[in-house]
Amino acid sequence: MNRPKILVTEALGPKGLEYLRLHADVDAYDLLPPQELPAMMDDYDAVIIRSAHRLTRELLVGHPRLKVVARAGAGFDNVDIKAATELGIAVINAPGANAIAAAEHTFGLLLAVMRNIVAGDAHVRAGGWDRAAFLGHELYQKRLGIIGLGRVGRQVARIAHGFRMQVSAYDPYLSSEIFKAHEVREYMDLGELIEYSDILTIHTPKTGPHLDETLLSRLPRGAVVLNVARGGLIDESALAQMLRDGHVQAAGVDVFVTEPPDAHSPLLDAPRVVTTPHLGGSTHEAMIEVGTMTARGVLEALNNQTPVNLVNVPIPDLPEQHLAPLDNAVRILGQIFSKLSEKVSRPLVLELGGTLNASLTPWLRQAILAAFLQDRVDERVNTVNALVIAAQQGITLLVEEAFNDDEPELGLRVEGQPDTGVAIALRHGQVALRKLAGIPVDLPWPDRALVTRHHDAPGVVGRVGTLVGQYGINIGQLHLGRRQAGQEALMILTLDAEPPADLVQDLTKLRDIDAVYAFSSH
């Protein structure tokens, strides 16, 4: 197999590049001029960008080799997600890789404004020593309001607890259990949180709430405002006026609507503001983590695995050691069912049971469709665009859920045709076959297997075993299943070597054999 070729358009960091180069051929730039990128898109399996480039629909279309694009950072506003999904291009980012850095920077700004550190430093350097002029405030017992309790917001809450602050948050997309788990008081109304907050900090994407003059005016007089998230989330003119009026005591600002801000930016003229040039996620440690997380996700996606940082697929919130076996199980189920079900004219039914849960269903629907369609269409199909391709093929997938405390189980069948059913279970991370063509079986799924559908008649097993032996292939295990004596039966052979195509063809010529299927995990 040829090594994939990857283009890195901006500095990724030595650790990330080193990881990529172990598995791929890499062309890396500290900063590729954006105008040069379009002419290079045809030559790569994956493209990694940061902030200087935009991957628009026009740029993504027409490059059949391109399978993965990545934004080395938490945000992905500069990638056309809809277009990438339609084209079956996986989009990778690095969520949370710089969460600790951003949270610590938030408190760096907060301490700077609460204790007058920047002004005090300038005062001493100018020869002054007026301690009373720079009297500050403690964080202890202050009421901290966090807008957005995602990865960064949770780290902010963790640090705030260390200062023994009273922590509350607003995030309409999270369950109450998340707030409880992080010991944060939940506010269902944004305005009420703002009214509560001595210190207000926002940690949302650009689609988060916009803090305009009306909302900011609900802050208690003397409050402090922080933005280490995205420029534009806070009305800069309104905040500057409230600083001049004294309604807002101080502000710490790391991001601006226009970066760098021009000389007329209202916050640059406002009093009691500490600013930094978008440094929130910029630490040596965060850069290393961003680079390695991005590199891992890109390579996993190129290898048809499911990275936890895949943007345009509803990836379940599972640890990687739990997601990977389930991902493998779905691929095996889809492959087996697809080979055994040549013509499908009715909806498919995905059966989910055991300790699986409903939060996995959106991802499982796309993953099973991708596995089923993989060898049935000429165009690229993967978990990213499986719903689009399935709709084009006229394939509908229904879901039946029967969750309980048993081992995780997945099944697939054609609606109204139980004899088409294939089912598997996950046992300690390994796939066990439970049903094949509606016939109950129970065996670990092997790396290499031959499956026959045949008439239940004397001599079939011997003829098949003899022919496999003539090809010099050893049979590890043999499992038989049937509906009724003398009717359709199944034979599953686990093999010590890959079965050649000639063997499969010769097996189909044997008496009483209806069909033969070869399976391999390689």
Please indicate whether residue 498 is annotated as part of the active site: no
Residue 422, amino acid: V
Please indicate whether residue 483 is annotated as part of the active site: no
Dist. CA 41–CA 208, nearest whole Å: 32
| Active-site pick, 138, 259, 320, 498 | 259
Nearest to 431 by CA among 415, 417, 442, 416: 442
Q: H helices of 281-398, where?
A: 284-302, 320-340, 361-373, 386-392
Dist. CA 94–CA 77, nearest whole Å: 13
Q: Which residues pair with 401 in a beta bridge?
A: 352
Helix axes 361-373, 320-340, angle to 10 degrees: 40
Q: Nearest 5 degrees, angle CA 226-CA 227-CA 232?
A: 135
| Active-site pick, 63, 151, 203, 278 | 278
Asked if 69 and 47 touch (Cβ cutoff 8 Å), the reply is: yes
Please indicate whether residue 522 is annotated as part of the active site: no
Asked if 432 and 424 touch (Cβ cutoff 8 Å), the reply is: yes
Strands (E), 80-186: 90-92, 143-147, 166-170, 185-186
Beta strands 5-8; 417-427: pairing state: unpaired
Nearest to 185 by CA among 206, 211, 161: 161
> CA separation (Å) from 429 to 272, 331, 358, 426?
56, 14, 20, 6
| Active-site pick, 71, 154, 230, 454 | 230
Q: Which residues pair with 430 in a beta bridge?
A: 427
Residue 383: helix, strand or coil by DSSP? coil
Q: Please list the active-site residues.
A: 230, 259, 278
